[in-house]
Amino acid sequence: MKVEKKVEKYARKKGWKVKARLEDGILYLEGEVPSYKEYVEIGRYAGKQKNVEGVVNRLKYKGKKEVKRKKGGNELIGEADVVIIGGGVTGCMIARELSKYKLDIILVEKAEDVACGATKANNAMVHTGIGEKMGTLKQKLCVEGHKMYEELSKQLDFPYEKNGMWIILTKDSFADMPIPSFLGNFIARFIIPRIILRRAKKLGIPMHIVKRKELLKEEPNVTSRALIAVYSPTYGVTSPYLFTIALAENAIDNGVKIMLETEVVDMITEGEEVKEVVTDKGRIKARYVINAAGIYADMVAEMAGAREYTIHPKKGSTLLFDKDYGNYIKHSMTILKFPRMEHYKGGGAMLTFERNIQLGPTLMEVEDREDTSVTAAEIKQIFSRFSLLLPNLPRKGVIAYFAGLRAATFTEDFIIRRAKKVRNFIHVAGIQSPGLAAAPAVAKMVVGLLKESGLEMVEKKDFNPYRKASVVIRELSVEERQKMVEKDARYGKVVCRCENVTEGEIVDAIHGKIGARNIDAIKRRTRAGMGRCQGSFCLPHVAKIISRETGIPLEEIKKNGNGSNLFIGKAKCLLEEENEN
């Protein structure tokens, strides 16, 4: 049966009116379904069909919100060989890679800082690729990307460590499957580990089996229901925002122009070509456009007349534990549980670079592309799921929780290719996990696509691959610290008591290449406010330092972007207002 018919039939059976059309590998869905849930259901069904490279889901349903586009500015604000849309890890990695060539490059980002999308709210794992579906593009790029991290972290001075990962099978692994427990345990102990090893071998990933006794000796807090583990010593962890900031700073050093608080709202096309990218700040003339807009990539593609997929956000929430529990586990770990949810690695207990345990993430389809709330149900779900792994990890250890949105398409794999009909537009979409791990390889692939589409790329002789991070005082020896304080007394004044961040480091963050202008930007760069008191203590100090260093009045300091003002004015401002009325 033809794909269109198959999808239509599926819908008809459910009583929905859906028309499907396949063109150039893209399946377009039109019609109506009852609610967002069914919209996703049929989209996913369509995405699984053979020869479908993308699903554009235009189905209507009750309560569907149409996103209003901002108005574009008229002024010409730039001109570039390549315009990159999106300042997440994908966009910034591409910018840095392209800065090796003699090109004029502009990166536009709508937020007030780089790394504000999914890039700031993930689990920081540099996956090896073992957890991805075999044969997918994302797996290929993950395996390649992972290998590039070591070198990159040396060049760009950002945190990266191969901390390892346990894949653990327990007596609960098959408990929800309709098979007797002895059989489940048998499969868990003898079959699954071998399958994993075989795949690892094929992918060139070093892994080995660890028996229960050894595992529990290494990790005494892991459940005694554990049966066996497969260990991956090269699994890595980074800091996704420090990495992205490093990329952006190095790109700037090599001539890339980064425009923050600049949102792409439209594109001017001529024939099969984008001529100009229209932003809320003005127009940018572009020879090539790269779409790395994360959760909004489908809308950006639409502006170029190249909508070839629809994004359905999948939220993931994570609980973060106090560093006090940093030695509770030695390595990150995940529990394999069957049946496996589609397109979900299952999460686990993962150590950040600073040794905070992260428990999660969840997986939840959400309609709202800005919905990063953590629900009570998710918190409950995380505790119950991962108590199968670490049954005694105390709830009181949680210091923060956060959610990020995975920019999933209905075909679920990364979509990295030239647009079908627009000659100079390149999709880098559907970059859900392992988008962080894969980023270096994604950027290389984009270079290839640009060459293919006719952009002449000449390597720069004076490309500078190196970038130095600003000083992190708590990592220095007493003597080194003393030297820093002699240079600048502010390195002696501790501002964040939980993470021991000094005033000097905060000042550095404000005056960095991409200067921090708000509390969250400071937090990402220095960790001030990331500890157990969550900024209760340092917030007033940090706000004052930003104000002093930038001249922004204290009462106008923000938590992050527009509308996130911390204060409404000076003290007494409401009383004065009253008096005036």
Partner 1 sequence: MKTDVAIIGGGPAGLAAAIEAKKHAKVTLIERNEELGGILQQCIHHGFGNFIFGEALTGPEYAEHFIEQMEGIDVMLNTTVLEIDKNKRMLLSSPDGVFEMEAKAIILAMGCRERTRTQIFIPGTRPAGIYTAGTAQRLINIEGVMLGKHVVILGSGDVGLIMARRFTLEGAKVEGVYEIMPKPGGLTRNIVQCLYDFDIPLHLSHTIVEIVGKRRVEGVFVAKVDENFKPIEETKRFVPCDTLILAVGLIPENELTKKIGIELDDITAGPVVDEGMETSIEGIFACGNVVHVHDLVDDVSFSAIIAGREAAKYANGRKIKRRKIKVKAGENVRYVVPQIINGRDMEEITFYFRVKKEMENVVTRLLVDGEVRKEKRELIVKPPEMVRLKVKGDLVMNANSISIEVKKVA
Ligand X SMILES: Cc1cc2nc3c(=O)[nH]c(=O)nc-3n(C[C@H](O)[C@H](O)[C@H](O)COP(=O)(O)OP(=O)(O)OC[C@H]3O[C@@H](n4cnc5c(N)ncnc54)[C@H](O)[C@@H]3O)c2cc1C
Residue of 3, 449, 485, 552 that binds partner 1 (CB under 8 A): 485
Determine, following the binding rule CB under 8 A, whether residue 573 of this chain makes contact with partner 1: yes
CA–CA distance, 37 with 365 (Å, rounded to integer): 8
C-alpha distance from residue 368 to each of 295, 297, 435 (Å)? 10, 15, 21
Task: Report 220-259 residues binding partner 1 (CB under 8 A).
Answer: none
Residue with token string 């990150």: 332
Helix (H, G, I), strand (E, B) or coil at 125: strand
H-state helical runs in 63-166? 89-98, 137-156
Closest distance to ligand X from the beta carbon of 399 (Å)? 17
Partner from partner 1, ligand X, none binding residue 485, C-beta < 5-8 Å depending on class: partner 1
Which regions of 446-519 does DSSP assign to beta strands (E)? 494-496, 501-502
Partner from partner 1, ligand X, none binding residue 129, C-beta < 5-8 Å depending on class: none
Count of positions (residues) in the chain: 581
Is the four-CA dihedral 116, 121, 126, 128 of positive or negative sign?
Answer: negative
* CB 387, CB 234: distance < 8 Å: no
Residue of 68, 475, 571, 580 that binds partner 1 (CB under 8 A): 571
* CB 396, CB 32: distance < 8 Å: no
Determine, following the binding rule CB under 8 A, whether residue 370 of this chain makes contact with partner 1: yes
Q: Give me the 424-463 binding string for partner 1, x by CB under 8 A, dash otherwise.
A: ----------------------------------------
Determine, following the binding rule CB under 8 A, whether residue 464 of this chain makes contact with partner 1: no
Partner from partner 1, ligand X, none binding residue 62, C-beta < 5-8 Å depending on class: none
Write out the DSSP string of 411-466.
T-S-EEEE-SS-TTEEEEE---TTHHHHHHHHHHHHHHHHHHTT----B-SS----
Pick the stretch among 103-111, 204-212, 415-423, 529-537 that binds partner 1 (CB under 8 A): 529-537
Residue of 57, 99, 123, 173 that binds ligand X (CB under 6 A): 123
Query: Active-site residue 127, yes or no?
Result: yes
Which amino acid is present at 366?
A: V
Determine, following the binding rule CB under 6 A, whether residue 116 of this chain makes contact with ligand X: yes
Determine, following the binding rule CB under 8 A, whether residue 68 of this chain makes contact with partner 1: no
Closest distance to partner 1 from the beta carbon of 315 (Å)? 12
C-alpha distance from residue 402 to each of 120, 179, 399, 499 (Å)? 10, 36, 11, 19
* CB 188, CB 169: distance < 8 Å: yes
Partner from ligand X, partner 1, none binding residue 419, C-beta < 5-8 Å depending on class: none
Task: Report 299-358 residues binding partner 1 (CB under 8 A).
Answer: 324
Is the four-CA dihedral 474, 479, 480, 481 of positive or negative sign?
Answer: positive
Partner from partner 1, ligand X, none binding residue 214, C-beta < 5-8 Å depending on class: none
Task: Give a three-class secondary structure readout of 383-420.
Answer: HHHHCCCCCCCCHHHEEEEEEEEEEEECCCCCEEEECC
CA–CA distance, 8 with 29 (Å, rounded to integer): 9
Partner from partner 1, ligand X, none binding residue 570, C-beta < 5-8 Å depending on class: partner 1
Which regions of 233-353 does DSSP assign to beta strands (E)? 236-238, 257-259, 264-270, 273-279, 282-291, 311-321, 332-335, 348-351
Partner from partner 1, ligand X, none binding residue 482, C-beta < 5-8 Å depending on class: partner 1
Closest distance to ligand X from the beta carbon of 63 (Å)? 23
Determine, following the binding rule CB under 8 A, whether residue 481 of this chain makes contact with partner 1: yes
Q: Nearer to partner 1 by C-beta: 342 or 577?
A: 577
Name the site residues for ligand X (rule: CB under 6 A): 85-91, 108-111, 116-119, 121-125, 127, 263-264, 292-296, 300, 316, 318, 361, 404-406, 431-437
Task: Report, as residue numbers or ranges, the catalytic residues.
Answer: 127
Name the site residues for partner 1 (rule: CB under 8 A): 324, 370, 372-376, 378-379, 395-396, 398-402, 478, 481-482, 485-486, 489-490, 492-494, 497-498, 500, 502, 532-534, 536-537, 539-540, 543-544, 554-555, 558-575, 577-578
